[in-house]
Amino acid sequence: MPLDAFGAPGAPGIFSLADPDRVREVLSAAGFAGTTVTPVTAPATWGRDAGDAAAFLLDSGPGRHLLERAAPESRDRARAALTEALRPYEDGGAVRLRGAGWLVTAVRPPAPGR
pLDDT digits (tens, 9 = 90+) for 33-79: 999 999 999 999 999 999 999 999 999 888 888 888 888 888 999 99
CA distances to 46, 54, 82 from 90, in Å: 10, 12, 13
Three-state DSSP class for residue 12: coil
Q: How confident is the prediction for the chain on average, in pLDDT?
A: 89
Report the candidate in 26, 43, 42, 14 with the shortest Cα–Cα distance to residue 104: 26
* pLDDT for position 28: 96
Three-state DSSP class for residue 30: coil
pTM (two decimals): 0.72
